[in-house]
A and B are shown apart, each in its own frame.
Chain A
Amino acid sequence: MSGTTEPRSPDDLAQALDGTGYLADDGLASAAFLALRMGRPLFCEGEPGTGKTALAQALSQALDLPLVRLQCHEGIDASQALYDWDFPRQLLHLRALEASASASHTELDVDAVESSLYDRRFLLARPVLQALQDAPCVLLVDEVDRADDEFEAFLLEVLAENSVTIPEIGVVRAETPPLVVLTSNRTREVHDALKRRCLYLWLEHPDLARETAILQRRLPELPKELAEQVAQAVHGLRGLDLLKPPGVAESIDWAQALQLIGARHLDLASATATLGAVLKYREDADRARDKLDALLAS
């Protein structure tokens, strides 16, 4: 962490995040601040669309650090997260050595050839190794709940040691540990051992005022009135017991859609026309349409 950008208090950090267009509340700012100062990973859980991934992006901007992203999926393994050898290039290199040796009628030194094959230039750094090499940086481990349990154990090891051992090269250690942000949508419970290493942040949908502020920050040309109406309506929708309650991302989409069709107010006609930007299930749309009148009136 370069000394000039290091925040001295949560408020400091909140201000820096604010500068990037991410509005952080007390909890979020404290969490990010403590994660930074304690050198612990930040484990963010919450409904989809509450700004977990955006937090990592905003942190990297606010702290002026590179962002390295590891998107987890089922079956992800070390060769996709850590490093891999570039086999085709190694093979080409070997062939080239052979060709030059036979051209000059010299014997190949086997040891030298082998050590030249496992050179750093044939090493493909995947996100975790890259983060350790580039540290200080922000490492975003996105949707860790989608990966397998085995992968969690492996991740735990890397996070605890802040280093990776590559048999052919040696240990790669980060001088300053990267700021790690893990996100989860709670599709399954992540192992306690992993959580224990982390600070735990449960994210909720923002309140009305904050959501209005976020909309205005993200869409500077959005009239204040429309922003308030959209935030109000989205809050109403969240209370409707829907299959997929809209997140902040959806309300931004909605406001943008309204802006694009040139709506000045959120009325029944414009809301119905753009409902597809907020609600992504037919059942939800049906339910909302019945109650749209009441929602917009409030």
Chain B
Amino acid sequence: MTTSDEGGSTEGPAPRPHAGAVLAAGIVDDLRGGGAPPGPEEVLEDFVAFTRLVRNAGVPVTTDRVAAYLQALRLSDLASEVATYWAGRLTLCADPDDVVRYDHAFAAWFSADPRDQRMGRPSQPKPRVSTMAALTEPPPGTGDGDEEETPELRVAASGEEILRDRDIAELSIGEREHLKQLLALLRPAPPKRRARRRRPARRGEPDPRRTLRAALANGGEIGDLRRRARRERPRRVVLLIDVSGSMSPYADTLLRFAHVVTRRTPTAVETFTLGTRLTRVTRELRQRDPERALADAGQAIPDWSGGTRLGEVLRAFLDRWGQRGVARRAVVVVFSDGWERGGAELLGEQSARLRRLAHRVVWVNPHAGKSGYAPVQGGIAAALPHVDRLLAGHSLTTLAELLEVLRDA
């Protein structure tokens, strides 16, 4: 029945039925397998078509969710709009962001106002978030300045060493292509933390349980002491990348760097971009293919090369993610030149807060590697007292250094 809803969802100005009592009686009978009043199939199709609208609104609706939705409808009082609303919201959504999108779709579909309905038609889908369908689209130009069609400049092996130390902002397009390949060769080692769980080990504290078990096998005689030690697990790494105008020459490379780090330990790395607002790009960067990951991340970031409100955005990060647990005991790396348009007090305050939550705070400033640099700009000066390390991040060599700092953090 999911395949036969083409006509119902894509064309026809006939008003979609909202959950009116008459129709409700129809679908109730239909779903319960009772008598067949005229056209219950159509009503059912309409509910399935509604899930397509929800999917087009950006909620990742899968077939099993649709099945759950129909099952929930069967148990709900369809004459009540509230019940229909909740049946869908509970089964189709999986995230607070989904709830907002679902609300829009629901209002458009079940509203009596035909204008709203047209607005919500699948023929005019809202901008997609990264659904599966979005992945099949050709990656749109995100304006990073690294278009593929430029003839590639082959850099000789001897040139590689030079490239490693060059400032990324000054590279030509061909050199950037080569840098991409070099970036992919980086082998990041994640920082480690001691886990709660213990593992059998050669040395460490005595392990009573395994000792007893060995004794059991031995007829109750305790032989050698078994030992255990705490495991080590990757420590969470949080990358906060400034994508404002002043950082735009570095943003693409830094996101690539984030992708390399993410691919190494996908569940232990979180990446956010900072600009005029906060964007989480972790999910996009977890994809294996770097080009696809970058394209999707680029699409998700609404504020490329805009202004900076570093303090405010940092606070948004801490409020919504950091304090809840993402920054706790994590190694937090901030990639930013510290240009702050507003006053720097807020940035100082929030940096102090970040320092209290995180295990280590590393600030990477591309300008810090240039000769004659002094951290005197308002933003960086305010944040610096609350930072464990200030590093340069303008070249491949300095990024490799950052990886070493991360490993030892």
Tell me whether A38 is interfacial, beta carbon within 8 Å: yes
Give the contacting residue for A91; candidates B60, B82, B212; CB below 8 A: B212
- A77 and B198 alpha carbons, distance in the complex (Å): 11
Q: Is B326 an interface residue (CB 8 A)?
A: yes
Among residues 197 to 250 in chain B, which have CB atoms less than 8 Å away from a CB atom of chain A? 197, 209, 212-213, 215-216, 219-220
A196 touches B326 (CB 8 A): no
Interface of B is mostly: helix
State whether A200 touches B68 (Cβ < 8 A): no
Question: Is A107's beta carbon under 8 Å from chain B?
Answer: no
- The interface bits of chain A over 8-36 (1 if a CB of B lies within 8 angstroms of the residue's CB, else 0) are 01100000000000000011001101100
**Per-residue B-contact encoding for A126-149, CB less than 8 Å = 1, 0 else:** 000000000000000000011001
A195 touches B94 (CB 8 A): yes
Stretch touching chain A among B70-78, B119-127, B375-383: B70-78
A87 at interface, CB cutoff 8 A: yes
Within 8 A of A (CB), among B170-197: 195-197
Partner-binding segment picked from A183-191, A262-270, A271-279: A183-191
Q: If the complex has contacts A77-B197, A90-B216, A91-B212, are A202 and B99 also in contact, measured as CB distance less than 8 A? A: yes
Q: Are B325 and A188 in contact (CB under 8 A)?
A: yes
In the complex, chain B residues whose CB is within 8 Å of the CB of A88: 212
* Interface residues as binary, B80-100 with A (CB distance below 8 Å gives 1, 0 otherwise): 001100110111011110110
* Residues on the A chain within 8 Å of B86, using CB: 26-27, 30-31, 34
Interface residues of A in 100-130 (CB under 8 A from B): 117
A40 near B: Cβ within 8 Å?
Answer: yes
Report yes or no: B94 in contact with A199, Cβ–Cβ below 8 A: no
The reply on A98 being an interface residue by CB < 8 A is yes
CB–CB B90/A199 < 8 A = yes
Nearest residue in A to B320 (C-beta to C-beta)? A186
The listed residue (A9, A27, A38) touching B68 by CB distance below 8 A is A38
How many inter-chain residue pairs (CB < 8 Å) link A and B?
92
In residues 29-88 of chain A, which contact B (Cβ within 8 Å)?
30-31, 33-34, 37-38, 40, 45, 73-75, 77, 87-88
Cβ-defined contact, B87 with A196, below 8 A = no
Contact A200/B93 with A10-B83, A91-B212, A185-B324 known, Cβ cut-off 8 Å: yes
Known: A74-B195, A200-B93. A38 touches B212 (CB 8 A): no
Decide if B90 touches A30 in the complex (CB within 8 Å).
yes
Assess whether A192 is in contact with B90, with CB atoms less than 8 Å apart. Answer: no
Q: Judging by beta carbons under 8 Å apart, are B76 and A34 in contact?
A: yes
Residues on A with beta carbons closer than 8 Å to the beta carbon of B87: 30, 34
Determine if A26 and B324 form an interchain contact, defined as CB atoms under 8 angstroms apart: no
- From residue B123, how far is it (CB to closest CB) to chain A in Å? 28
Size of the B side of the interface (Cβ < 8 Å), in residues, is 41
B216 touching A91, Cβ below 8 Å: yes
Q: Does A95 contact B (CB under 8 A)?
A: yes
A38, A77, A90, A145 pick with most chain B CB within 10 angstroms = A38
**Residues from chain A with Cβ under 8 Å of B213 in the complex:** 87
A75 contact from B99, B195, B353, Cβ within 8 A: B195
Q: Looking across the interface, which residue of chain A has its beta carbon closest to that of B100?
A: A202
User: Which B residues are in CB contact (< 8 Å) with A188?
Assistant: 325-326
Chain B residues contacting A240 (CB-CB under 8 Å) are none
Bound together, the chains give a CA A145 to CA B216 distance in angstroms of 37
Q: Does B62 contact A (CB under 8 A)?
A: yes
Q: Which of B75, B94, B96, B324 contacts A196 (CB 8 A)?
A: B94
Q: Residue B325 contacts which of A94, A187, A195 (CB distance < 8 angstroms)? A: A187
Q: How far is the CA of A75 from the CA of B233 in the complex (A)?
A: 10
Return the chain A residue nearest B210 by Cβ: A87
Question: Would A38 and B75 count as touching, CB distance under 8 A?
Answer: yes
A243 within 8 A of B: yes
Instruction: Judge if B323 is at the interface, Cβ distance under 8 Å.
Output: yes
Say yes or no: is A201 at the interface (Cβ < 8 Å to chain B).
Answer: yes
Shortest beta-carbon distance, B102 to chain A, in Å?
Answer: 10
With a cutoff of 8 Å between Cβ atoms, the chain B residues found around residue A192 in the complex are 60, 94
> Which single residue of chain A is at the shortest CB-CB distance from B196?
A75
Q: Which residue of B lies closest to A30 (CB)?
A: B86
Hey, which chain B residues are within 8 Å of A38, CB to CB?
A: 68, 71-72, 75
* Residues of chain A with a CB closer than 8 A to B216's CB: 87, 90-91, 94, 117
A200 in contact with B196 given A45-B96, A186-B324 (CB within 8 Å): no
B64 at the interface (CB under 8 A from A): yes
Report the nearest B residue to A192, measured CB to CB: B94
Report how far A132 CA is from B227 CA in the complex, Å: 34
Which residues from B are CB-within-8-Å of A146? 325
Contact status A91-B72, CB under 8 Å? no
Q: Whole-angstrom distance between the alpha carbons of A6 and B219 in the complex?
A: 53
Q: Given known contacts A196-B64, A243-B319, is B220 in contact with A91 (CB within 8 Å)?
A: yes
Residues of B close to A185: CB separation below 8 A: 324-325
A-facing mask of B45-85, CB < 8 A → 1, else 0? 00000000000000010101100100110011100001100
B76 A30 Cβ-Cβ under 8 A: yes
- Contacting B91 at CB < 8 Å: which of A75, A117, A199? A199
The complex places the Cα of A62 from the Cα of B378 at a distance, in Å, of: 58
Interface status of B2 (Cβ within 8 A of chain A): no
Q: How far is the CA of A53 from the CA of B341 in the complex (A)?
A: 43
Q: Give Cα distance in the complex from A154 to B91, angstroms.
A: 22
A38→B209 CA distance, assembly (Å): 42
Interface centre among B86, B99, B197, B326 (most CB of A within 10 A): B86
Instruction: Verify if B267 is at the interface (C-beta below 8 Å from A).
Output: yes
Is A243 a contact of B72 with CB atoms below 8 Å? no
CA distance A192 to B220 in the complex (A): 47
- Determine the residue in chain A with the shortest Cβ distance to B98: A200
A172, B41: Cα distance in complex, Å: 41
> Would A196 and B62 count as touching, CB distance under 8 A?
yes
6 interchain pairs, CB-CB under 8 A: A30-B83, A34-B91, A185-B324, A185-B325, A186-B324, A195-B94
Binding site for B on A (CB under 8 A): 9-10, 26-27, 30-31, 33-34, 37-38, 40, 45, 73-75, 77, 87-88, 90-91, 94-95, 98, 117, 145-146, 149, 185-188, 192, 195-196, 199-202, 243-244
Contacts A30-B90, A74-B195, A87-B213 known; 15 new A-B pairs at CB < 8 A: A27-B89, A31-B90, A38-B68, A38-B75, A90-B216, A98-B219, A149-B267, A187-B326, A188-B325, A195-B94, A199-B91, A200-B95, A200-B98, A243-B323, A244-B323
Which 8 residue pairs across A and B have the least CB separation, nearest first? A187-B325, A75-B196, A30-B86, A75-B197, A199-B90, A195-B94, A187-B324, A87-B212
